[in-house]
Amino acid sequence: MVNKTIVVASNNKHKIQEIGEILSDFHIKKASDVVDSFDVEEDGESFCENAYLKAKSLSKYTNDMVLADDSGLEVFALNNEPGIFSSRYSKEQTDEANVKKLLKNMEGIKDRSARFVCCMVLIINDTIIQKEGYVYGTITDKPVGDSGFGYDPIFIPNGYDRTFAEMDSNLKNKLSHRRAAIEMIKKSLEELV
């Protein structure tokens, strides 16, 4: 029987809450519950490598299961930029500056298709479970909406006519790449537990 505590390699309360809602059969703890300071250099070449680096680093401080994720936006016409550099795409590394730089780089480009990617890595003793979730959509010409964060104001998911930043959090969370990845992790956990 597996210990039913999962330590998430994050202190982001929204992320912890979302993970807790989906993995409701488990006791969810944040990184600061097991270690005073947790800061990992994300120098992997993919979302999954970065998620693994975070999970592996945190697993040294606990015997519980450890869950980490890395996520971002890939714009196909820009060679999948900003990709793993999504949060640090611009010099200023703010949401507003990142969005501005992306829209500038998209000027004159007709193919505006993109996807949000989330890779989740769960470490249970010596077992590593890795799952990727996606949400496909298109990039707008200008930011629309004032909820959400990151690239939400310029991303319209396929099948909808409004950006993530125009949606209420319940709908956005249902469609999210993170939710897709967590659901797959949950399925793997159910098979193990």
Give the active site residue among 33, 43, 64, 70. 70
One-letter amino acid at 34 equals V
Radius of gyration (C-alpha) of the chain in whole angstroms: 17
E-only strand ranges, the chain: 5-8, 27-30, 65-75, 81-82, 113-124, 127-139, 155-157
Concerning whether 95 is annotated as a catalytic residue, the answer is no
Question: Contact at 8 Å (CB) between 189 and 4?
Answer: no
Q: How far is Cα 136 from Cα 73, in angstroms, rounded to an integer? A: 10
Question: Contact at 8 Å (CB) between 54 and 66?
Answer: no
**Which residues carry out catalysis?**
70
